[in-house]
Amino acid sequence: MSVSDTRNKKQVSTLKEKLTQDQELINPCFQEYNISAKCLERNRYDYDKCSLQFENYRCCKKLWGKIIHSRRMENIKPYIPLPEEREKIKQEYIKSKQKKKMYF
């Protein structure tokens, strides 16, 4: 095993560790998840009182699922954009879908 192989394995290991520790990097809907969880806590786990937060979380997961799928199909990496790029990518995706609807 060469020195470069060892470095690459260490880099991959470090990245995996960082990703598992930092949910915000791997979950574009982490904020919505936290909002839903806090709502449940505040309302003593009465799910009916948090339906708006749950719906928002579901919409977020659906939107980002489509964006990630689209990026995979177009081989755009990283498939899950970094947090600082997400708002821009989300707006571009929404605009592109609106343009397609106009033509049909």
DSSP 28-58: TTHHHHHHHHHHHHHTTT-GGGGHHHHHHHH
Give pLDDT tens digits along the chain (104 positions): 454 566 677 777 777 676 656 888 889 999 999 999 999 999 999 999 999 999 999 999 999 999 999 999 999 999 999 999 999 999 998 898 887 766 55
User: What 3-state DSSP class applies to 102?
Assistant: helix
The pLDDT of residue 56: 97
Other Cβ atoms within 10 Å of 15 Cβ, number: 11
Rounded to two decimals, the pTM is: 0.71
